[in-house]
Structure 1
């Protein structure tokens, strides 16, 4: 009888607003009793039946009331549907998966833009529009943006690039309508370069005719992860207007059409309630745009050349009837590229995460006021948050995340990294790896540091030289057996203005931002232009190389009459400083010039770097500061032209550095990004008094006898011996000044080298006490300094670029929107040194962050002999281990379970063991979410003499015959 009552209860819940249907359900139950389908104690007793029917009905009513009551309070929510009624539109933005972000640059031929741009009625400009549903594809990954981009051609010929903000997007509120763009000259053609912020998503659109009599409920399948859905209906003019969406059956806007969405794994259901059809709030057609994303991915777009990029100009909205989008099909001068990483992205929030956000009101403020709102904002971007200071006057938070894993041959383990204080003594920190400039000292990336436990010290210049000069195998053993570290960043330690400030800079990857033509002296009749530019960082600054293209006349001139010159206006000056180019050879019969920008890395607090070889006049020896976002004027010059009048461009010449009768023929403008100021990277410091320094002995001082020593008898009287002349004399054992020896004839020392000197028993002080600075530096595993294989060299370069992208794209944007006196800094997850963990019974202990693993696979004879299978298992094993080692709680049983699922029945059994000298417990939990364990790595020499890092994972395949 219990199953029949359950059916009655379920039917009562289903038909709770329809008494007739409930009555029919009760009749069905009664009919089943009558034909003996159900058995009750007294089937002929109506009272018993009515009692059971009433009990089922009451139970259903109470269940429904409890469920409805629970939905009133977010604290009682147990499902997504319970939470939806408490969420505003803003809360849905990060409820589902969010895409990674990056930047893609496009090049458009300026002449085509001017030719194809269409007039905009009632304005003074013409324009082309990149539609908001444009899809960029990079090696199979789709990217897009949320607002149309207008390229406007002004009446005076100027160009303007802005977002079209007429239609807002519920996905991404528009912060500014401006985009970064610049002009570039390539092969004598002028291009417009537009830097477009993009997100990794794909839009699938569906257009469906509506029928009021049948209503609308449709299911849409998708791959990857659901991101967003926008629904449009056609208006009377046939254009699309967006309607609202909701994920809750209880939340509808009666005056505005609303689509009800239900997201399940790989599927989206869209339902339009019948009410909107009856109220004539819908047009004849519906358009549904489904946004999907891959969520968090590690992808470096700089690894792909421009041929891997493509664009589809998709105009679903048909704004302005497509008049400004249609001309894009005629563009031929187009290319796209990127040097950026894809950062951020997240998967869907769990019920618990969403519940916490709703209860704490963590999604509603664009300015993250509370810690919970900041945590919600930063979690969406892929970070965790650590509160350092939170009081009435100041708030300091740290955003932390793991660095990207490598896609390399030898290892899948993320590089070891940490931000750790290094003790430096004022006055002692000055050598070829730490350049002192007045009150500044700049620590160069060539420094090497040593981690002993959790204490980091900087190696001296002689120690670095000795380490680098070791024979290869000896050097590799030293790096494998010691934890040496390095930093890819320049650190400026600034003691000016009676304060101590630390600033970090990334200067190893300078780039050309733009180049464009400024003017020419056509009267001279010579033509020369730049056909290629390359800028690289060196240990002493930067090198710019220019490949030129000249006409027949200038190529016929001797090299001594053709010159190049860079100039800029230094900070605080009105006159120009100059650097002459040096002819270094020819490529394809065209001249190649080189400009050296030398510096001692003196960088002020406004991020201007001093160039030491730029001069204003011939006797000028002072350095000249230029912004890291540097603007240079490039001049092509000819000399030895007698009786030629000066042109207007000759005012830019540095005549002191050129032969007489020099004239400018071409003027170009170059913009370089020499480096990046890492203002949001944690660079804390503290100062203390250093230990007192005492004078020490510079060499061993042997102990000498201060008087003659004679042999004595038992009574203490000198023993007399024959003096050789018939007389007697005392038996001399040790003469005055002889060295003192111990019982084994080893010398006894009065002072050893390094012992403190004393006078009257008091140590001799050597100078005054100094200041000890503890400076937080970002440090990486020094083993990467020795790798020579290409993919690991690329990864070593990628890591600091990733940090720069994190700072520029995420942390800086969040910092701009936070309240005053609230600071946010980036800290990578620490996976070097020792970490504090909890083990059984909550006990705490320290373990090494890097650990080795041994996996023994037992296989039957057939699988053991399958070398391809064993190779596949080995690859899968390394991937699974890398995933598991990044968990908060780590256990050998966790490795075993994950590997068992991955390898399936291909192995009979397995054993997973820690390996090494200091192995951790079988199970432990990290106490700090800013730390990670990792797989230990080691350097190995390959058969081709290259050096590669490999994971310290031993995989043994053992034949197990059954």
Structure 2
């Protein structure tokens, strides 16, 4: 086989540090020459051969020098291997796909924990361990722990639950070593619920062997996306010791064992430089852990029953030979579940994105995202784009933007259209709307309010008109009405507040209350009665919230008359030490168990004060029914009481001191005290919200009559030189002062005429010098509202309704899990807000020859497939092609620049051989529309317009509005 010059240069480069190997290469070329496989001017002339060899060697050296020079500068990097030379260890983690993070609940019997813990031989302590690499699987996704959780029973029977952070994981950091736990009472048994932080990663473990005198290099296949890899070697004692890893064979310490990693398409190549085997610093056995993830994920874990979860208790390090892990397998029951929402994660970076990051030095050892590039990188890893709102030396303000996620069930490819719209009105304008709650100096815009958009403006839709639209469902006029008009609604509550003469607006999510857990507090065991809460539920109603409980009790309790049994619900009012109370209403008795079922209504007008306390108006406090604020996150006390009851040596307990006697008969005794840990709502801190009062023709207060000027204090004669009050010593030896004007005396001018402080008609101003409105509720107020596509307001199909309900929960998780932690680490005078990307309404865009227009961001495109005869007749193929077209359009709309040619090419690439060609039209509206559109606002993106369709069962569902046409072309 003839060796080309390029092949010879590449071969020399591979063995450039081995003179013997270079010599063999030259001899091979000479051998080819002697066999006539190569033709040179005079093959018998050694000079010609030496000349060619010299030329090849010089060329290879020059190429090597150029490559080495280029490798010294990140801005000259052309390949991943070259950019790796300028990356820190932290850069490698962010280089690949990033997993989402959540918490998995592990429920263990408290009695069994005390029974099964193993003595440690240290200070009387016993413990058991939930191992480091425990893996939980649900819905096909794997979630893995990174830190073991130790359950320690101390000598005094105290229980400690902590994370063992003695070995730090490069994949996850913890803010505290104290594990999050909740003590629960279920069916009269005490349980410990442990929330384990997990990453959405799956660990594939390999145990390769090293062969002496042979270089180690192996490739391993993996599914999903590569996230991270860790390599360990077994030492002489059989312990696993982690090795360093690098992604380039140019950077490693020859004195410290290092594994070289190379990520390929679906494969990871692991190699060990021969220098370590030659020096004997690497033993014979390795352990390779490959961490893979699906990347971005939006999943509501609460939708899955505990039976859907599986758990594997894994400790790859085999700490303590599994002694403290073994008790887990002996529990009679271990329940695994989660009520969390999984969001976040990101796909692997492209080479271009990685190169830009490294050149800008946007990552590194800094813990504070100081520069724009660093903040951009941090948010990009979490799935956000960054937009600069204000960037001054003294004040920086950034917006993290993100489109709403699509439904997780795949019913619709793209997420709901949304916008942040400026709305202007006065309190007087809003107070008459029946879906807006008037609370005097505060009013609340509820999610029932419907808005209508026209010409970029948004106005309220009256309740009467809203009811008319809802009544149109089922008629022929309903769908055309929604096609012709754009309606929007917000899933959040907006509280307008003019208390303290300052206008403020606050956002809340109050429609998804949850009970985190039930906790047993105390009981009176001298009564001979047994009762506890068996089941409980907290739900949202129009007037507020509703708690329903069912008891689990002894026959003695069941035999008591209903008028002898009381259950009180109480909470500590926010900012107070006193409790507010209400008695439960007996709804019924369970027909099978005869257990009582009680209802408690927590009524509110959705008035939330500036301390974020929700005003409740049907509870008694200090014996009287009055408004009192309940914390959005707090505890509800459940107190069981028996009245007109006596039993042997029954004595009172501390429970009696907690009860509200004004709601009970004269003779009573408390039995059980339990608590529900509840979340009634969330404060949307970190959501972009701009509000102000607007200058208008409002009337201001004026003085009805002249106000005479008077002296506000006594005025004494002063020394004209020093300015001090003149003092004279009287005959009695006491100081005397010459009073010129007494406090309250009328001020007169030099001619003796009365002066006036205010004249009739002068505007009254406050302490800050601002004019005081005659009617503050009549002043125009302006604020930003988050509005979603109103089609979900009218949808009745279950998947569409469930998706609309999930959107506010998703936004809350973004704010609490992403925006808030980053904001807390920003430097002073730097603010970060979440601003959903605008996908409805109008945005500035460039079309044609840089012509700027106001473009409707909701787009309906037309896709034409030209198919072969076989493809045209294949119904399944056509259905698949419809989905492909929508998916490609949705992906293309994620960029600020969109072109129909690019969309058509992407669809063609994904379509298959039965598609002859694809055309796309309608971009920007009309036919054929624009070829390319460039949005000028980074917070705006194009979105697929939605349509409401009537289903066969009479319900209405939201679907993507993309017109897909199939045309047969040829055979």
Change over 3 Å in CA distance of 1:388–1:303 after alignment to 2: same
Q: Which residue of 1 aligns with 2:932?
A: 923
Q: 1:425 deviation in Å?
A: 1.7
- What is the rounded CA distance, in whole Å, between the counterparts of 1:541 and 1:99 in structure 2? 38
Q: Which residue of 1 aligns with 2:598?
A: 593
Change over 3 Å in CA distance of 1:878–1:4 after alignment to 2: closer
Equivalent of 1:517 in 515, 520, 543? 520
Q: 1:466 deviation in Å?
A: 4.7
1:424 aligns with 2:425: yes
Q: Which residue of 1 aligns with 2:266?
A: 266
Q: 1:215 deviation in Å?
A: 3.9
Superimposed CA distance per residue, residues 813-851 of structure 1 (whole angstroms, 9 cap, x where no aligned partner): 211222222211111111001222222333322221112
Q: Which residue of 2 aligns with 1:311?
A: 311
Q: Any conservation in 2 of the 1:480–1:783 contact (CA below 8 Å)? A: no
Q: Which residue of 1 aligns with 2:443?
A: 441
SS of corresponding position for 2:362: coil
Superimposed CA distance per residue, residues 842-866 of structure 1 (whole angstroms, 9 cap, x where no aligned partner): 3322221112233344445544444
Q: How many residues align?
A: 891
Q: Which residue of 2 aligns with 1:748?
A: none
- What is the rounded CA distance, in whole Å, between the counterparts of 2:777 and 2:876 in structure 1? 66
Q: Which residue of 1 aligns with 2:962?
A: 953
Structure 1, unaligned runs of 5 or more: 695-764
Q: 1:602 deviation in Å?
A: 2.2
Equivalent of 2:611 in 585, 606, 609? 606
Q: Any conservation in 2 of the 1:5–1:53 contact (CA below 8 Å)? A: no
Q: Which residue of 2 aligns with 1:678?
A: 684
Q: Which residue of 1 aligns with 2:715?
A: none
Q: Any conservation in 2 of the 1:454–1:833 contact (CA below 8 Å)? A: yes
Change over 3 Å in CA distance of 1:554–1:684 after alignment to 2: same
Aligned pairs for 1:449-598 (under 5 A) are 449-470=451-472, 472-473=474-475, 474-587=477-590, 588=592, 589-598=594-603
- What is the rounded CA distance, in whole Å, between the counterparts of 2:26 and 2:674 in structure 1? 90
Superimposed CA distance per residue, residues 549-596 of structure 1 (whole angstroms, 9 cap, x where no aligned partner): 121111112212111101222123333211111011123322110111
Aligned pairs for 1:736-815 (under 5 A) are 770-815=778-823
SS of corresponding position for 1:921: coil
Change over 3 Å in CA distance of 1:41–1:770 after alignment to 2: farther
Q: Which residue of 2 aligns with 1:639?
A: 643
- What is the rounded CA distance, in whole Å, between the counterparts of 2:24 and 2:235 in structure 1? 44
Q: Which residue of 2 aligns with 1:868?
A: 876
Q: Any conservation in 2 of the 1:851–1:933 contact (CA below 8 Å)? A: yes
Change over 3 Å in CA distance of 1:842–1:2 after alignment to 2: farther
Aligned pairs for 1:247-286 (under 5 A) are 247-286=247-286
SS of corresponding position for 2:620: coil
Superimposed CA distance per residue, residues 717-760 of structure 1 (whole angstroms, 9 cap, x where no aligned partner): xxxxxxxxxxxxxxxxxxxxxxxxxxxxxxxxxxxxxxxxxxxx
Change over 3 Å in CA distance of 1:572–1:409 after alignment to 2: closer
- What is the rounded CA distance, in whole Å, between the counterparts of 1:86 and 1:409 in structure 2? 41
- What is the rounded CA distance, in whole Å, between the counterparts of 2:150 and 2:337 in structure 1? 20
Q: Any conservation in 2 of the 1:642–1:661 contact (CA below 8 Å)? A: no
Q: Any conservation in 2 of the 1:860–1:960 contact (CA below 8 Å)? A: yes
Q: 1:239 deviation in Å?
A: 1.7
Q: Which residue of 1 aligns with 2:711?
A: none
Change over 3 Å in CA distance of 1:157–1:495 after alignment to 2: farther
1:652 aligns with 2:658: yes
Change over 3 Å in CA distance of 1:471–1:139 after alignment to 2: closer
Q: Which residue of 2 aligns with 1:237?
A: 237
Change over 3 Å in CA distance of 1:267–1:549 after alignment to 2: same
Q: 1:513 deviation in Å?
A: 1.3
Q: Which residue of 2 aligns with 1:761?
A: none
Q: 1:465 deviation in Å?
A: 4.6
SS of corresponding position for 1:670: strand
SS of corresponding position for 1:522: coil
Q: Any conservation in 1 of the 2:99–2:295 contact (CA below 8 Å)? A: yes
- What is the rounded CA distance, in whole Å, between the counterparts of 2:371 and 2:119 in structure 1? 48
Change over 3 Å in CA distance of 1:958–1:808 after alignment to 2: same
User: Scaled by the length of structure 2, what TM-score is found?
Assistant: 0.87
Q: Any conservation in 2 of the 1:410–1:951 contact (CA below 8 Å)? A: no
Q: Which residue of 1 aligns with 2:846?
A: 838
Structure 2, unaligned runs of 5 or more: 701-772
Q: Which residue of 1 aligns with 2:633?
A: 629
Q: Any conservation in 2 of the 1:418–1:780 contact (CA below 8 Å)? A: yes
Superimposed CA distance per residue, residues 658-677 of structure 1 (whole angstroms, 9 cap, x where no aligned partner): 12312112111221111111
SS of corresponding position for 2:640: strand
SS of corresponding position for 1:362: coil
- What is the rounded CA distance, in whole Å, between the counterparts of 1:372 and 1:650 in structure 2? 60
SS of corresponding position for 2:814: helix
Q: 1:179 deviation in Å?
A: 2.7
- What is the rounded CA distance, in whole Å, between the counterparts of 2:403 and 2:103 in structure 1? 21
- What is the rounded CA distance, in whole Å, between the counterparts of 1:295 and 1:593 in structure 2? 45
Q: Any conservation in 1 of the 2:165–2:177 contact (CA below 8 Å)? A: yes
Superimposed CA distance per residue, residues 520-549 of structure 1 (whole angstroms, 9 cap, x where no aligned partner): 222221111111111011222110000111
Change over 3 Å in CA distance of 1:36–1:368 after alignment to 2: same
Change over 3 Å in CA distance of 1:947–1:14 after alignment to 2: closer
User: Scaled by the length of structure 1, what TM-score is found?
Assistant: 0.88
Change over 3 Å in CA distance of 1:846–1:572 after alignment to 2: closer
Change over 3 Å in CA distance of 1:940–1:4 after alignment to 2: closer
- What is the rounded CA distance, in whole Å, between the counterparts of 2:683 and 2:823 in structure 1? 15
- What is the rounded CA distance, in whole Å, between the counterparts of 2:442 and 2:269 in structure 1? 63
Q: 1:509 deviation in Å?
A: 0.8
